[in-house]
Homo-oligomer: A and B are copies of this chain.
Amino acid sequence: MLACGAADFVLVDAREPLAKAGLSLIHAQACYEGKYWNTTGIARHVTVEALLPEMRRRGITVLSHGATGRGNDQVRFQLVANMLAPDIEVYAPWRDETFLAAFRGRGQMIDFCEKRGLPIKASRSKPYSTDANLLGLTHEAGVLESLQTSPDVIEPGMGVHAKDAPAAGEEMEIRFENGAPVSINGARVSVLQALEKANTLGGKHGVSIAFHLVENRFVGIKSRGVYESPGMEVLGSAYAYLLQLVLDRRAREIFDELSRYIARQVYQGYGFDLGSRMAGAAIAETAALVSGTVTVRLQRGAVSFVSAKNVPHSLYSEDTASMEAVGTYDHADSEGLLRVLSVSARALAAAGQVKPRLLE
């Protein structure tokens, strides 16, 4: 920025809060439209929150960003800034008529920069654009816009394609305490270190590298993204294996609901509003119960379960699950349960409510 003529430049290190925000998404298993770990969405929240104190300190009243007028990021920057600092003005050159009159597209922009010798990285030949942060990469636009282009064209930034990963694979033991990863393969880690380690190992084994998704943007149009988020996927999957042990059916039902809600909220830039706080408070009740050691295998893009132990809040009992040992209730009790269920099932039939065909 200084080389481009900025009067001053400050680098704010937000890796720690970003890692913690990533962990919040893992707690909520908050993937947008089922798949995308919201790595860019959450980063917009953290970025604005992290910049504000520095802006206040310097009396800066305008937050400027380079997001264009068709994407999600303009919405996220605007909403987060407006909520956290309603007095701050948000300025986006790509929505400013004066600016737009001068630059009709990326091409002319690059021309301008090159002519003035501004040290930009983008080039006309770059076949797609990439947004990067600690949690993941988002590739989109350019050649990726065609659904005839396979995600194979991506040059991975956080690891290798699954097909190029070592055949052998590798096991990884992660210990969580009250929802936080505290050790990996026996070594103590901070949340940030856990994410970095998971990024390294996940990336090496092609986990969540070049993941395809056609998604619904906030503004109502569809876009295609190809994502990388190895660390989020590794930690998120390991966490999910512990969640399976802890959540009973009723908690699972509301958890899944809140999970999708939070994913939408963060994706759309509403991660700081009341609804997100409500959902977050609910999820925090579950995170507090997730302690345990889980071993996963990373191999050719997959994160699979190997084993789990020391899970104090687990509802899974190797004894009660047995089909042989009838433990604390016996077959006659099941008979009673079924007789009770049977009354309502037969009532449905008697009321003409049952039609003998499958789902549709």
Contacts and interface: CB of A to CB of B under 8 A. Distances in A.
Interface string A332-360: 11111111111111111111111111111
A311 to B, nearest CB: 8
Interface in A113-141: 129, 140-141
A1 interface: no
Interface in A263-288: 264-266, 270-287
A74 B338 contact: yes
A266 B283 CA distance: 20
B70 A346 contact: no
Number of copies: 4
A277 B285 contact: yes
Interface residues of A, number: 160
B163 A346 contact: no
A213 B245 CA distance: 9
Contacts of A146: 318
Contact of A339 (B27, B282, B329, B352): B329
A56 interface: no
Interface stretch (A2-10, A94-102, A188-196): A94-102
B248 A275 contact: yes
Contacts of A313: 351-353
B245 A343 contact: no
B322 A145 contact: yes
A55 interface: no
Given A307-B147, A313-B351, A331-B100, A358 B271 contact: yes
Contacts of A257: 257
Q: Which 7 residue pairs across A and B have the least CB separation, nearest first?
A: A336-B336, A220-B344, A280-B359, A69-B331, A82-B345, A69-B334, A333-B336
